[in-house]
Structure 1
Amino acid sequence: MLIMREERELTPEELAGFSFDEILEQMGAYNEKLIAAGVLVTAEGLAPAAEGLVLDFAQTPPIVTDGPYGETKELFNGFWILKTASREEAVEWASQAPLGPGVKLELRRVPSIAEFDIDNEHIQRERAWRESTGQL
């Protein structure tokens, strides 16, 4: 999973300097390369942090806080899930993302359902659900 993070939300002045059409063109071309290579599973962008919520499970019931988040240093803005043969291949694809200064990609492996204890009833149910929906 490639997790796109910005160090902070851009100001309206900074956003004015961007061409949304150009960004869509660059991201579209990148996604098409991923599709052509057969490695793209899914990719999504996220709405601004100001529209989000945080649930803090430090107590019951969880505390719900509206965004934006004053202490957040990096914002999660979108993601890609790729299916690659190796960590090195994932790094190669991540390196080609059309991102600029102030943006980071975190690369995390998504474990498969096969890596979990199959004797657990919840894992068995999830595995059956994945099989029934063609996800396995």
Structure 2
Amino acid sequence: MKFAVLVRATQQSEAGCMPSEKLLADMGRFNEELVKAGVMLAGEGLHPSSKGARVHFKDAQRSVLDGPFAETKELIAGFWVWQVKSLEEAIEWVKRCPNPFDGIESEIEIRQIFEAEDFGAEFTPDLREQEERLRAQIEQQAKKH
């Protein structure tokens, strides 16, 4: 099972405060554990929402809202993608994670990622083939970078 592990933003992260050297080292050690265990597939920190945008969809119309966004508690400051056996295993890994923000309360959300079999009959063989082809192209592009 794949899970997106989402680090919730704080006022500190939205203000652009960078982590301490100690926190970077602690996170580096934690990420090493994840990689050695074959759990971590990806992981990145995100810039504050002031450097981002949202695109709102209403039928065929699109509108853009530039950051920053007001509700800090609804924002994401970083993420991992993990491959684990269960939600319970993902929870156990998160419990071992250093606090993502020096000296303040923070929160990490865990969400399962949809996989092909979750979509049922609507995900036809043609659509499955297309997805496999796209994933192979992405992997090839990643090797070039």
Q: TM-score, normalised by structure 2?
A: 0.75
Deviations 1:31-61 (A, max 9, x none): 0111111111110111111000011113543
Instruction: Say whether the 8 Å CA contact 2:13–2:77 is kept in structure 1.
Output: no
Q: Which amino acid aligns with 1:109?
A: Q
Deviations 1:11-42 (A, max 9, x none): 86x94xx7521221111011011111111111
One of 104, 123, 129 as aligned partner of 1:124: 129
Q: Shift of residue 75 of structure 1? A: 1.9
Change (3 A) 1:65 1:97: same
Number of the residue aligned with 2:143: none
One of 107, 115, 125 as aligned partner of 1:104: 107
Identical pairs, percent: 31
Unpaired runs of 5+ residues, structure 1, are none
Number of the residue aligned with 1:8: 11
Aligned counterparts of 2:95 and 2:67: Cα–Cα separation in 1: 30
Number of the residue aligned with 1:88: 88
- The answer to whether structure 1 residue 113 and structure 2 residue 116 are counterparts is yes
Change (3 A) 1:5 1:11: closer
Change (3 A) 1:67 1:19: closer
Q: Which amino acid aligns with 1:5?
A: R
Aligned counterparts of 1:73 and 1:110: Cα–Cα separation in 2: 22
Moved more, 90-99 or 58-67: 58-67
Q: Shift of residue 8 of structure 1? A: 3.2
Instruction: Say whether the 8 Å CA contact 1:6–1:102 is kept in structure 2.
Output: no
Change (3 A) 1:27 1:115: same
Aligned counterparts of 1:48 and 1:86: Cα–Cα separation in 2: 31
Two-structure CA RMSD over aligned residues (Å): 2.6
More helix by share: 2
SS at match of 1:108: strand
Number of the residue aligned with 1:30: 30
